[in-house]
Structure 1
Amino acid sequence: MKLNLLFVPHYMKTMDWTRDELVAYILLFAAHSDFKEDNRERDVIISKVDMNTFQDIHDEFDGDNDYQGIQKILTSLRQHNYDKDDVSLLLADIKTLFFSDGEFNINERNMLKSLERLFKSL
């Protein structure tokens, strides 16, 4: 059986997220770096987006694996033409999220480094 290497899942071509939905997804992705999402992290995310956006994106996030999440993030960042200033603001939000519980653990540090590398690839 030959694999069609040109097959691109729908979420890699285009995303119909708003910028708020993208931010919510990225922050949820980051929050799950330690495999849990605590109330303080949830509060940070909800401070950036409205509750309906948070819930809709959370439902979508729950159905995605890491690979799908990364592809969705990259596709949407490109569609919204994120530049270095936008990425800097996004990284500041991610750091706020990580420090919301008073600690910055090794999983969170590794996630921050990974997201920084990912965002540089844009």
Structure 2
Amino acid sequence: MREIKTNWTSEELKIYTLIYCANTDFSESKFEINYIKSKMRTSNFEKIQNEFKKDNDYQSIKRIQLLIKDHGYTNDDINTLFKEIKTLFLSDNKYDFLEKNLNRGLKRILNN
């Protein structure tokens, strides 16, 4: 298993997390991609997306967990991230079963 890079900025973490969430249903809609890109100031979407494609599900979760810890995210920071995730899920006007389950699972993982 390849080493998980943990020296990303908070913005890169957020973009990676949103890309991970957008792929819950195994595809990124144009609405989801546009929403993610609207959250970027300095990050390179394609670079982060390519990193995401190299990771399996376990590596993605570990990367997100490590970066949240490394950046010292508070409960408020995590809640803000989840608001953005929910907005992402709703950007294509549907909030399906897979998205709801991922949202619940991430909350359990990240709030521990």
- Please classify the TM superposition score into its range, dividing by the shorter chain length: over 0.9
Q: Is the 8 A contact 2:21 2:85 kept in 1?
A: yes
Equivalent residue number for residue 45 of structure 2: 54
TM-score, length basis structure 2:
0.94
Q: Is the 8 A contact 1:20 1:53 kept in 2?
A: no
The question of 1:116 aligning with 2:104 is answered no
Q: Is the 8 A contact 2:11 2:43 kept in 1?
A: no
- Which ranges in structure 2 are unaligned for 5 or more consecutive residues? none
Out of 40, 45, 49, the position equivalent to 2:31 is: 40
Letter in 2 for 1:42: I
Q: Distance in 2 between matches of 1:48 and 1:26?
A: 12
Instruction: Report which of the two structures shows the higher radius of gyration computed on alpha carbons.
Output: 1
The question of 1:10 aligning with 2:9 is answered no
Q: Is the 8 A contact 1:98 1:104 kept in 2?
A: yes
Q: Distance in 2 between matches of 1:27 and 1:87?
A: 13
Out of 28, 33, 37, the position equivalent to 2:19 is: 28
- Tell me the C-alpha RMSD between the 2 structures: 1.6
Please report how far the alpha carbon of residue 53 of structure 1 lies from its aligned counterpart in structure 2 after TM superposition. 2.2
Equivalent residue number for residue 105 of structure 1: 96
Residues 42-83 of structure 1: CA deviation (Å, up to 9, x unaligned): 011001114752111001001110011111111100000000
Q: Distance in 2 between matches of 1:71 and 1:94?
A: 18
- Which ranges in structure 1 are unaligned for 5 or more consecutive residues? 1-7
Out of 87, 90, 94, the position equivalent to 2:81 is: 90
Point out 4+ residue stretches in structure 1 off by more than 4 angstroms: none
